[in-house]
Amino acid sequence: MNGEVKVVNDVAAEFARIVASELKGSGSTFVLSGGSTATACYQQLAEQNVEWSDVSIFWGDERCVPLDHEDSNYLLAQKAMPSVLNAAAAVYAMEDADAYEKLVADAVPFDVVHLGVGDDGHVASLFPDSDTLNVEDRLVVDGGDEFHKHPRITLTYPAINSAKVVIYTVVGENKAEMINRVRSGEDLPVNRVKAERQIWLLDEGANGN
């Protein structure tokens, strides 16, 4: 596994503590994830003392649905931490790859990128065996595959790898097999992330204990 691994009882609480410590100073940028783990992380983050008016918020990926659709990653964050989105310097919903490309080009390098990791080792919407894994000349692309709901928009590795720190949050015994595959060095999408600092936050279940 690339980076530092921390096995903790409360992944969401540790995530919130670390993110709060990393988002210092005006002009900070923070990239959100989707997925079920993210909700608890963002609920905890809303309790942290962060100067959100210094922080611009982006997404790492999004489903191509209306922002008020139940599957929208924007809605996930809006429901989990409404006070954060309301206070942020800027909130850039991900609705069009070309438009987002320009926003990201002006924003990188990102300060903090949050990534969940799918059972198949995907991050954002960079899915196994996808052409999006090999994109080097774009920061944002249209994506998706037949195994995951909805067409997607996703950051590419050049955008993700710009991060000063990537934080992975992985919870539950159902993730233990995937974590073992990551540890084996299998060519999974998450193992292609090459950001300078990477922090894995695992609970005991995901860690395989």
* Residues 6 or more apart in contact with residue 114 via CB below 8 angstroms: 15, 19, 30, 31, 32, 33, 38, 41, 60, 166, 167, 169
* Nearest distance, CB of residue 21 and ligand 6PG, angstroms: 22
Taking the least distance from each CB to ligand 6PG, the nearer of 73 and 156 is 73
- Least Å distance between CB 94 and ligand 6PG? 10
Under the rule (CB under 6 A), what is the footprint of ligand 6PG?
A: 33-37, 61, 73, 116-118, 122-125
Residue 85 CA from chain centroid, whole number: 16
Contact present, 124 and 60 (Cβ < 8 Å)? yes
Whole-number Å distance between alpha carbons of 118 and 199: 16
Q: Residue 18 CB, nearest distance to ligand 6PG (Å)?
A: 17
For ligand 6PG, the closer of residues 29 and 116 by Cβ is 116
If the CB atoms of residues 52 and 59 are measured against ligand 6PG, the closer one turns out to be 59
Which residue, 84 or 122, has its beta carbon nearer to ligand 6PG? 122
Residue with tokens 């928009």: 153
By C-beta, is 88 or 190 nearer to ligand 6PG? 190
CB nearer to ligand 6PG: pick between 122 and 193: 122
β-bridge mates for residue 155, sequence order: 140
Q: Whole-number minimum distance, CB 41 to ligand 6PG, in Å?
A: 9
DSSP 16-35: HHHHHHH--STTEEEEE--S
| Least distance between ligand 6PG and beta carbon 76 (Å) | 9
Calpha distance 51→97 (Å, rounded): 29
At its nearest, how many Å lie between ligand 6PG and the CB of residue 14? 15
Dihedral class, residue 185 (left if φ above 0, else alpha if ψ from -120 to 50, else beta): left
